[in-house]
Structure 1
Amino acid sequence: METLNDFEQKNNRGFNKFLNIIEKVGNKLPHPFMLFFYLILILVVISFILGTMQATVLHPSTGEEVAVKSLLSKEGIQYILSNTLTNFTGFAPLGLVLTMMLGIGLSEKVGLFSALMTKAITKTPKRIVSFMVVFIGILGNIASDAAFVVIPPLAALVFLTLGRHPLAGLAAGLAGAGIGFTANILIAGTDALLSGITTEIAKSINSDMIVTPLDNWFFMSVSTFLLAFLGALVTDKFVEPRLGLYKGEKKADNKELSPLENKALRNTGIAVLLYVAVIIGLIVMPDSPLLNEDGTILRSPFLSGIVPILFGFFLVAGITYGVSIKKIQKTADIPNIMAEAIKDLSSYIVLIFIIGQFIGYFNWTNIATWSAVHLADFLTAINLTNIFAIILFILLVALLSLFIISGSALWSLVAPIFVPTFMVLGYHPAFIQLAYRVGESSTNMVTPLNTYFAIILGFMQVYNKKAGIGTLMALMIPYTIVFLVSWIILILVFALFNLPIGPDVYYLLNN
């Protein structure tokens, strides 16, 4: 049977040329920090020109006249000097992500996520192993980027143990962890990060607008099961048959969790169940502080306070597992491990400083409102205000994601234009955020600019020493196409039937 390498050599020459173009163009992009620095300089120039022209627009909500303000004016210079610190420290995603990572990072550093993934995948019945590999891969984004280096090699070993081609397992795990990165049935750091950015920008149109980490939950929960099913189908019916029989020298090493690790998982399960029981008890108690005054959960303190509640969940899980596994032997170990987790966010903190300035300046100049109203008028003039405008936005994001790898950086780049624009047209900002997540996640594993490409290639070469970028691309493209198309169809279904994408959140603002 023809191998993937043979197939690539004969048929992928044109595709490799296309990849070379993408890599060449992408390599010319500056570091995200410098990219936003240059954007600030461009913003300064544009604000000066529009300010000089006395550009104004009627605010879509209040009807008041809004003028574009120049950053080079006396008022603008005073704003920059007096708000540099608050643009950084007051930037909503900063506190959200740091808080989440204190808990999630602790759990990851003590080995809880690795043990859970090993347990889940290795104990899966053979007939549904492909489904579970993709499913666990998608759930793995709760551990953020750790999923990229844990799940694919683990999935390859599972397939090898079962007598299947290990690269098919690696591809399935990577499809879940990479292409399905934004989906989950749990609330992850991605939800907190993106919703914070969305809220900051949406306030330029509606100062009372808040997008919570739960506002995409329903849609992403459905996506998790849909993508796991489709990912398994692609693996079993297309990817593995093209790979053929595995004839490599690598043999399976049936490594299982130690008795201590199993005991630690059992203890952790008991602890988190008790934690969840306490939260549920607080919710159902009379005059609960977690519910609204009318006793409902929608837009309640429970939902608005989901981040500290999740922080407590991961803190309980991480401490219990760490103590049981003896990685936490004294109380001082807990903050020390948290500090190690925060160190991993150092580059993100540097990046968020400049992003906070850009968004702060962008909103202060009123260019967000000015451009949104004019872009909305243009879309209205060409009669492109329906859901298909959202589909075009998804495709645009999917294309941009090939060149700008950082999901938060790309969202910070496109959100200031498209969130206000679609809000003016009546769409909920959480729905625009959802559309962005679909486009960005779909193509982030088919670009050689992805920072994890080198690591994944190393995993692949354990089983195929000749594997290269073309091999990885050929494995990932089928998942990319299927996931993107199915996600777009799912968005159309939610919009057509006006289904909630999150608790009391619909695709239109007037629901």
Structure 2
Amino acid sequence: MNNHQEIETAKNGAFNKFLNTVEKIGNKLPHPFMLFFYLTLILVAISFILGVMNASVIHPNTGETVAVNNLLSKEGVRYILGNTLTNFTGFAPLGLVLTMMLGIGLSERVGLFSALMTKAIIKTPKRIVTFMVVFIGILGNIASDAAFVVIPPLAALVFLSLGRHPLAGLAAGLAGAGIGFTANILVAGTDALLSGITTEIAKSIDSEMVVSPLDNWFFMSASTFLLAFLGAIVTDKIVEPRLGTYNGEKKADLHELTPLENKALRNTGIAALLFIGFILVLMFIPNSPLLNDDGTLLRSPFLSGIVPILFAFFLVTGITYGMSVKKIEKIADVPNLMAEAIRDLSSYIVLIFMIGQFIGYFNWTNIATWMAVHLANILTAINLTNVFAIVLFTLLVAVLSLFIISGSALWSLVAPIFVPTFMLLGYHPAFVQLAYRIGESSTNMVTPLNQYFAIILGFMLIYNKRAGIGTLMSLMIPYTIIFLIAWILLMLVFVMFNIPIGPGVHYLLK
């Protein structure tokens, strides 16, 4: 079967017809700005109805009554008028994206990324490129949300350089960084954040219970390799064949690097090592400003300040490479190149204005809390005692994650109900936390409510001017389905063979 026949077969398969339908319907949705405008109007109407009904729930963590706030009430109108600017300027991803693109854009425009990829591609066996893209994407969560901005566009460029479809590379990078966000072979900030919440709640049942950041480590390490392997298969066998051949204007140039470019890369490598060495020195000096007061890395200024550190890293390496290849000849060239990178984000900035309003209103109304508590109570009422209850809990979280994007916020809502419930049934709270992480991570890239959805859509438009919400959703759905199923099966394997999910931690309480 030739390549053309393979592509046609892929496009005509039942599953791909479903994805094509998703893409077709999704792309008929209004422009994302208008979509969020309409969603905001619907949200206002729903908040009015629930407000008139005096809808409320008891918050499972605080025990306080949480009422749904009406956006058309006097307080609601005051909120809208008083927070329009802060909903926009205070939208956290806006600052992250602009900051990262200042550094990344500079490095891209001086040719650093192109040279690095050319060098790497010549040396790397092509058969493992897809695996490495997904694997690096998963490891990228050590840099927290910065991975969403850095990895997918670089992955697209890697695929383009190989003559492959750049959107397939972007999808592979996003699958790792987004859907595989909670997995890692390293202990990341997510482990510390969630385990802290779990410990406080678990103490209501066992005052001596402590869930450490290492308690999911074995499982998440195994997940990293499993998801990278499956992500590569999904990319190569489903996503890329469905996309077909890329016929865009940007073509890859895989020429051997010139002596000047090789010298520039050597200089950049030295600069990168010096920068990393400087950071390491700062981390190990007494009373380091980058570590916690107790001298640990978890919840440290280093992790919370990873974005400005990465910005400085890209700035140092970009300037070094640019000066070495003579693309930066005077200091004024630096801000000019950075300004060019920001111009490409103009449409994203416009879109963020509307998204910021919607998310701000959604959080203020407390509708998310109202939904989560009612849905959680339904599952609790089923009163199952076997591991199937854990699977149902994972699926419930996967649904809730479509509406409540913040992982820590959603865990704060469902953990007070389900951690004590499952502990009373004999399950370890770290295992309940693990099940939560599977569900929350699996579906967070197929919902337009994800704050990075618009960013990725902007990257896609570089290679496909007709790409829309449906295009992105159809790219991510195969990874979501495969990752979620495989993750649940892996969890059941750990249960069946009583494999520790972390050092000295099993799925059942001793």
TM-score under structure 1 normalisation? 0.67
Aligned to 2:414: 422
Whole-Å Cα distance in 1 between the matches of residues 105 and 364 of structure 2?
35
2:178 is the counterpart of 1:182: yes
Instruction: Report the CA distance shift for 1:43/1:147 in structure 2 as closer, same or farther (over 3 A).
Output: same
Once the two structures are superposed, residues 138-193 of structure 1 have per-residue CA deviations (whole angstroms, 9 ceiling, x without a partner) of 6487645533642223224xxxxxxxxxx6x98985664454453899x9xxxx9x
Aligned to 2:142: none
Instruction: Report the CA distance shift for 1:222/1:266 in structure 2 as closer, same or farther (over 3 A).
Output: farther
2:381 is the counterpart of 1:374: no
- Retained in 2: the 8 A contact 1:372–1:424? no
Once the two structures are superposed, residues 9-56 of structure 1 have per-residue CA deviations (whole angstroms, 9 ceiling, x without a partner) of 699365665455334322322222222211211111111112112222
- Retained in 1: the 8 A contact 2:59–2:413? no
Whole-Å Cα distance in 2 between the matches of residues 78 and 170 of structure 1?
46
Structure 2 residue aligned with 1:389, among 393, 408, 421?
393
- Retained in 2: the 8 A contact 1:152–1:173? yes
- Retained in 1: the 8 A contact 2:107–2:317? yes
Aligned to 1:59: 59
Matches of residues 153-302 of structure 1 in structure 2 within 5 Å?
A: 153-156=160-163, 176-177=172-173, 179-180=175-176, 182=178, 225-229=225-229, 255-302=255-302
The alignment partner of 1:70 has SS state of coil
| Fraction of identical pairs, as percent | 58
2:128 is the counterpart of 1:131: yes
Aligned to 1:147: 154
Aligned to 2:310: 310
The alignment partner of 1:182 has SS state of helix
Whole-Å Cα distance in 1 between the matches of residues 109 and 97 of structure 2?
17
- Retained in 2: the 8 A contact 1:264–1:321? yes
Unaligned 5+ segments in structure 2 are: 138-147, 202-215, 242-251, 420-431, 449-455, 466-473
Whole-Å Cα distance in 1 between the matches of residues 435 and 103 of structure 2?
28
The alignment partner of 1:310 has SS state of helix
Q: Offset of 1:366 from its aligned partner? A: 2.1
Unaligned 5+ segments in structure 1 are: 157-166, 207-215, 243-251, 398-409, 459-472, 501-505
The alignment partner of 1:386 has SS state of helix
Q: Offset of 1:347 from its aligned partner? A: 2.2
| 1:390 counterpart letter in structure 2 | T
Aligned to 2:471: none
Instruction: Report the CA distance shift for 1:391/1:231 in structure 2 as closer, same or farther (over 3 A).
Output: same
Whole-Å Cα distance in 2 between the matches of residues 454 and 298 of structure 1?
37
| 1:154 counterpart letter in structure 2 | S
Instruction: Report the CA distance shift for 1:283/1:481 in structure 2 as closer, same or farther (over 3 A).
Output: same
CA RMSD of aligned residues (A): 5.1
Whole-Å Cα distance in 2 between the matches of residues 450 and 79 of structure 1?
30
- Retained in 1: the 8 A contact 2:133–2:172? yes
Aligned to 1:353: 353
Aligned to 1:32: 32
TM-score under structure 2 normalisation? 0.67
| 1:147 counterpart letter in structure 2 | L
Whole-Å Cα distance in 1 between the matches of residues 131 and 446 of structure 2?
14
- Retained in 2: the 8 A contact 1:372–1:420? no
Matches of residues 108-127 of structure 1 in structure 2 within 5 Å?
A: 108-124=108-124, 126=125
Matches of residues 397-416 of structure 1 in structure 2 within 5 Å?
A: none
Q: Offset of 1:276 from its aligned partner? A: 0.7
Aligned to 1:96: 96
Instruction: Report the CA distance shift for 1:102/1:155 in structure 2 as closer, same or farther (over 3 A).
Output: same
| 1:151 counterpart letter in structure 2 | V
| 2:365 counterpart letter in structure 1 | T
Whole-Å Cα distance in 2 between the matches of residues 279 and 84 of structure 1?
39
